[in-house]
Amino acid sequence: MKKLDNRTYIILLAVSSIFWFLFNKNIQIHLSVALNALLLVYIKEYNKAIKFVITYLTMVILAGLFANKIALMYIILNMLARSIPLVMVVTCIVVGNSSELMLSLQKTKVPKPIIVMICILIRFFPVLSKENIAIRNGMKARGLFSNWKDFMRNPFLVYECFMVPLIIRCIKLSDELGATAELRGLNADISRSCIYEADFGLNDLFVLVLYGAAMGLIYFRLQV
């Protein structure tokens, strides 16, 4: 992975969010997805870049198919597709080291409670996919919803069987993560030391300028 400072990713996320609200044409969203895919390739997250592009194209195609048939499905798919560019930038932060993120935020003088909250969230969300797999395996072991037809026949029951265990597990996980945060001294009044380095260099500045210029070009050239 080609390192960039976490503060760079946060600034990129802010820039991307601002332009995301300003974009009002599909071609602008298409180009922002391509730009963020190049960002993922730059930090050597090739698999994630490919997955995001495929997911985005799939959603766009499905939205086009549902456009004249099911309006609600078109709206849902279109909104999910439009959110892909922001998720791609967030991924740059999530795939990094949480200790480096804490150090970067600490150098930026971000309040300690916010730093703790962000780091716990970054550790929390990847666990959800594992919990979903565990719930699915538990359902299979009990003979529930053994094939996709059962999912289609009883969508509300499937939702209930997934969400109730997931909510209970999330409550337990939040307690465990809170205890871990206390144990590691995340709420200590003094600044924490770190074995990693977080330096904002010329490479970060180059990426910020290039990304901002590209976003501005996409907006102003295609706005008319």
Residues 35 and 103 in one domain: no
Residues 113 and 184 in one domain: yes
Alpha carbons 94 and 124: distance in angstroms, whole number? 11
Residues 164 and 150 in one domain: yes
Non-local CB neighbours of 177 within 8 Å, separated by 6+ positions: 120, 123, 124
Residues 119 and 32 in one domain: no
Residues 157 and 80 in one domain: no
Neighbours of 174 (CB within 10 A): 12
State the residue range of the domain holding 119.
Answer: 98-195
Torsion of CA 13, 15, 18, 24, to 10 degrees: -100
CA distance between the termini of the chain: 38
Residues 91 and 37 in one domain: yes
pLDDT on residue 65: 80
Residues 30 and 55 in one domain: yes
Alpha carbons 74 and 37: distance in angstroms, whole number? 24
Residues 92 and 112 in one domain: no
Residues 153 and 168 in one domain: yes
Non-local CB neighbours of 32 within 8 Å, separated by 6+ positions: 16, 19, 20, 23, 85, 215, 218
Q: HSE (CB half, 13 Å, CA atoms) of 210? A: 12
Residues 174 and 103 in one domain: yes
Residues 88 and 11 in one domain: yes
Alpha carbons 99 and 26: distance in angstroms, whole number? 37
Alpha carbons 97 and 17: distance in angstroms, whole number? 23
Residues 80 and 118 in one domain: no
Across 36-69, b (16+ Cβ under 10 Å) vs e yields: bbebbeebebeebbeebbeebeebbebbeebeee
Q: How many domains are contained in the chain?
A: 2
Tell me the pLDDT of the chain (224 aa) as tens digits: 557 888 888 889 899 999 988 888 888 889 999 999 999 998 888 898 999 999 999 888 888 787 777 777 778 888 888 889 999 998 888 887 777 777 777 777 777 777 777 777 777 777 777 787 887 787 777 777 666 666 667 667 777 777 788 788 778 777 777 676 666 666 666 666 666 676 777 888 898 999 999 999 988 887 65
The pair of structure tokens assigned to 83 is 């959110």
